[in-house]
Amino acid sequence: MSVVHQNSLRGQAIEELQSNQCVCGERKKSGNSFCHLCYFRLPPKMRQALYRTFSDGYAEDYDAAKDYLKTSNA
Ligand SMILES: [Zn+2]
């Protein structure tokens, strides 16, 4: 993965973390990655990954979680 891609991934993750809107369109708390509905649709391992810090790879895990929610959309 290139540095540029990692930086934009991180910028987007920070922006969406601070936003009041979840990727699904529902309201969420600023500082939470997802709304409750989306959060509980994630497998436990992915939920835990969202508690990591940015230097630990949060942006990548958050992106993976978004992909999961998109592809597992019922
Ligand atoms: Zn949601």
Cα 14 to averaged position of ligand 1 atoms, centre (Å)? 16
Cα 70 to averaged position of ligand 1 atoms, centre (Å)? 11
Residue 31 and residue 19: Cα distance in Å, rounded? 8
Residue 46 and residue 69: Cα distance in Å, rounded? 11
Q: Is the pLDDT of residue 30 over 70?
A: yes
List Cβ neighbours of 19 (8 Å cut-off, separation of 6 or more).
Answer: 28, 30
> pTM for this structure?
0.86
Instruction: Please count the structural domains in the chain.
Output: 1
Question: What's the pLDDT score for residue 26?
Answer: 97
Biggest distance spanned by C-alpha atoms of the chain: 34
Query: Average pLDDT of 33-48?
Result: 97
Domain with 9, as residue range(s), is 3-71
Q: Which of 68, 48, 67 is nearest to 58 (CA)?
A: 48
Cα 43 to averaged position of ligand 1 atoms, centre (Å)? 14
Residue 36 has phi, psi (to 5 degrees) of -60, -40
